Structure 1
Amino acid sequence: MDMFWNIYSKRLLSSIRNKDQLIWIWAFPLIMATLFYFCLSSVSQSDNLESVPVGVVTDTAYEEDQMFNQVLEQVGSGEDAILKVTEYAQRDKADSALEKGDIDGYILIRENIPQLVVKQDGINQTILKSFLDRYVQTEGNIRSIMEKNPDYALDFEGIMGGDTLTEEISLSSQPYSPVVNFYYALIAMICMYGGMQGLTSITYLQGNLSALGARRMMAPLGRIRVIFYDLLASATVHIMSLLFLLFYITVILRVDFGDRLPLLVLTCLAGTILGVAFGTAISCLTKLGENMKVGILVSITMFCCFGAGMMVSGMKYIVDQHMPIISWLNPAARISDAFYCLYYFDDYQRYCQNIAVILAMAAGMFLLSAFSLRRQNYESI
């Protein structure tokens, strides 16, 4: 136990004091999460359309068109109003408001036909144009109904909004979020960066790569035990960084990851094991210098994160559809998909499949590393 605590505690202190690892697994994730928050917060709010500010010239022609008056009154009232209507007695006042940007366009009646005046093209201007086009198309039917049944209360908002006979439902208890996948891919990337911990641990145990490794190889203790103690300390430091990142995203940035916090932590732990195993495999299976190994680790990690959808939205879905085998062999994609399953799926079948694949990958990498280390011998140290 004394030997375990001696190796374990020293490795903990070494990892915490490593400046490169402090940057990559502590500072860098927080910076990326913060950038995601500011860059993607507007995306999550883009589905909430606000009322379009529009003006109307209330001249004699407008006053005589009672039906259009009723339509504007109904679609411009209520909390979820399509339009925010402002009346102008004269056209020059409407032109002035349009020039200042107070409204996105204004409507005036000419020859019993509503006409739209805008300053520039845009989403709101397109909405206004579509609204007037739909009104003109349905005007005849509306007039016919009102002439035959003057007391009938027409739902102008429903008519102009284009109600359908289908109802949109969600297959999950969680609301759809277009941004959580980016955070999941970020956490998957940091899990893979646990490879730096594994790589450093193996480097410190190889006599041909460092003076420390030469001294440790001469110690009267079994190599497997030393490696196990060392990697356990490395995994401890890395899971601490992941839990801090998870705390920062969910508590400080207030990103909703659902209500399955224990399983989120379990997924981070599985991802940490895979990341550390990834680093040990690269360190054991290549004879390059430490800097070159780090370069290989970072390059492979970024490529995997690209396939997991961190850089391009929807990339993970594209890979799943066209190259499913590659997707299942992508460790970053499996980690992010495990988070995805916890957020959207009510059952645990696919989540368990992802965790099983993650642990199987980690076991395979550890076995390759152990086989490689057993074959390493030194003629002299």
Structure 2
Amino acid sequence: MTALMAMTFAVTTVCSTQANLSALGMRRSLAPLTRLRQLMGGFLASWLCTFCSLLVALLYIHFVCRISFGSRWAATLLAIVVASFASNALGTLLGSLPKLTAGTKIGLTTAFSCALSLLSGLYGSGAMALSDWIQRNAPVVATINPTQQVTNLFYDILYYDSYAPFFRTVGILLTMAVLALALATVFLRRQRYAHL
């Protein structure tokens, strides 16, 4: 859930480059730096912030809560790299949606994260039963749920001897991220401003 809530970093970054959503966006639209470079810089910065936040949470879980990840620290670090990348790609997509205010985009991001977390069983035993039911009866819904896939990253590390399920989940998340970035690029290229 933390990974998906971090989509707000990317949404805020994208909104700050749009001239119709912020004064900073108006100033940036006049800058000699191309829009693609501004967006890539913002995406990389939000990805780094998300990764660092998840790394701090991981260290807290390990050293304070004393939960062991065994000898799979490399996979665990890869998991938070992939989770942070996917969440920022999805945040970039939500931030690029046309004709919405910045506040609406942030609200949509929060609602999206909370709803998907509920479907992934992150709200207690009732939600866990719902998540189990979804995985048994509607596995496609579980597969396209990014929160479920981030959750699966850590389940795959902790519960399987083989890395095959982990890398399958990494592939699913990276596919989601690439699709989200492609759609965001389409939305952002089509945005034009008649006046500011």
Task: Give the TM-score category using the shorter length.
Answer: over 0.9
Q: Which runs of 4+ in 1 moved over 2 A?
A: 256-259, 312-317
Contact preservation (8 Å) 2:120, 2:128: no
- Asked if 1:261 is matched to 2:73, the reply is yes
Q: State the alpha-carbon separation in 2 of the partners of residues 212 and 313 from structure 1.
A: 43
1:62 corresponding residue in structure 2: none
Amino acid at match of 1:292: T
Q: State the alpha-carbon separation in 1 of the partners of residues 23 and 128 from structure 2.
A: 46
2:182 corresponding residue in structure 1: 367
Summarize deviations over 1:169-216 as a string: whole Å, max 9, x none.
xxxxxxxxxxxxxxxxxxxx1111121011001111000000100100
Q: Using the TM superposition, give the Cα deviation of residue 316 of structure 1 relative to its aligned residue in structure 2, in angstroms.
A: 2.6
Amino acid at match of 1:358: L
Q: Using the TM superposition, give the Cα deviation of residue 314 of structure 1 relative to its aligned residue in structure 2, in angstroms.
A: 3.7
1:248 corresponding residue in structure 2: 60
Contact preservation (8 Å) 2:15, 2:22: yes
Q: State the alpha-carbon separation in 2 of the partners of residues 236 and 364 from structure 1.
A: 20
Q: Using the TM superposition, give the Cα deviation of residue 380 of structure 1 relative to its aligned residue in structure 2, in angstroms.
A: 3.1
Q: Using the TM superposition, give the Cα deviation of residue 253 of structure 1 relative to its aligned residue in structure 2, in angstroms.
A: 1.0
Aligned counterpart for 1:225 among listed residues 17, 37, 47? 37
- Asked if 1:201 is matched to 2:2, the reply is no
Q: State the alpha-carbon separation in 2 of the partners of residues 267 and 249 from structure 1.
A: 15
Higher helix share: 2
Aligned counterpart for 1:338 among listed residues 115, 134, 153? 153
> Structure 1: where are the runs of 5+ without partners?
1-188
> Structure 2: where are the runs of 5+ without partners?
none
Q: State the alpha-carbon separation in 2 of the partners of residues 360 and 292 from structure 1.
A: 26
Q: Using the TM superposition, give the Cα deviation of residue 300 of structure 1 relative to its aligned residue in structure 2, in angstroms.
A: 1.1
Q: State the alpha-carbon separation in 2 of the partners of residues 355 and 373 from structure 1.
A: 27
Q: State the alpha-carbon separation in 1 of the partners of residues 130 and 74 from structure 2.
A: 28
Q: State the alpha-carbon separation in 1 of the partners of residues 6 and 179 from structure 2.
A: 16
1:95 corresponding residue in structure 2: none
TM, length-normalised to structure 1: 0.49
Aligned counterpart for 2:171 among listed residues 336, 356, 359? 356
Instruction: Give percent identity, aligned residues only.
Output: 29
Amino acid at match of 1:321: R
Cα root mean square deviation, aligned: 1.2
Deviates more, 1:259-268 or 1:199-208: 259-268
Q: State the alpha-carbon separation in 2 of the partners of residues 209 and 265 from structure 1.
A: 35
Higher strand share: 1
Q: Which has the larger radius of gyration?
A: 1
Q: State the alpha-carbon separation in 1 of the partners of residues 93 and 74 from structure 2.
A: 29
Amino acid at match of 1:371: V
Amino acid at match of 2:56: F
Q: State the alpha-carbon separation in 2 of the partners of residues 306 and 257 from structure 1.
A: 25
TM, length-normalised to structure 2: 0.94
How many pairs were matched up? Answer: 193
Equivalent residue runs for 1:90-169 within 5 Å: none
Q: Which structure carries more relative contact order (alpha carbon 8 Å, separation 6+)?
A: 2
Summarize deviations over 1:264-318 as a string: whole Å, max 9, x none.
1111111111111111111212422222211111111111111211113343322
